[in-house]
Amino acid sequence: MRVLTAEPLTADVFKPFGDVIEATDRVRQFGINYGNTVRFHDLALVDVDANRGRAGMSIFRSTPLPLPVLIELMEYHPLSSQAFMPLGPKPYLVVVAPKGDFDAAQIRAFKAEPGQGVNYHAGTWHHFCLALEGVSDFLVVDRIGDGDNCVEHHLDEAEKLSVSI
């Protein structure tokens, strides 16, 4: 079985899959609320309007899988983006593959640090939320509406891999 080592999550390396949501000096920022707040502006493209969809905000509570994490399933959302922002101080794992026909050889893994969120572009293959150091909550912004917006691929034995951190 192939073993994939998780890379650090950065905006540049993640760009083919979506947006990294984080408050850094690399993004546009400006003061608001009479100088009491810094706004880190427009961090992700929320794409949810296909078939009259609307943006919804939910909280996902994720329980860690045993380590090393075995990747047996990938999914994508054809009608929308999907954003995850951790609500606690724990890192988590992001596993993705490019849009289009699924290719297990193209799977990449990233270790996201606390304060880093991700926004998967519509059509980007990804694993479901992977907490690492205990049960973790995530604020999720995604599409609410009619239509089938989740396509799953169960990996066959030759495609399965494990991720080390």
- Residue 22: the pLDDT is 97
DSSP 147: S
Residue 28 is encoded by which pair of tokens? 């546009």
Per-residue pLDDT of the chain (165 residues; tens, 9 = 90+): 899 999 999 999 999 999 999 999 999 999 999 999 999 999 999 999 999 999 999 999 999 999 999 999 999 999 999 999 999 999 999 999 999 999 999 999 999 999 999 999 999 999 999 999 999 999 999 999 999 999 999 999 999 999 999
Write down the domain spans for the chain: 2-164
CA distance 71 to 1: 11
Are the C-beta atoms of residues 130 and 93 closer than 8 Å to each other? yes
Domain 2-164, CATH homologous superfamily name and number: Ureidoglycolate hydrolase (2.60.120.480)
pTM beyond 0.85:
yes
pLDDT tens digits for range 58-70: 999 999 999 999 9
Q: What percent of the residues of the chain are helix, what percent strand, and what percent coil, each to the nearest 5?
A: 5, 45, 50
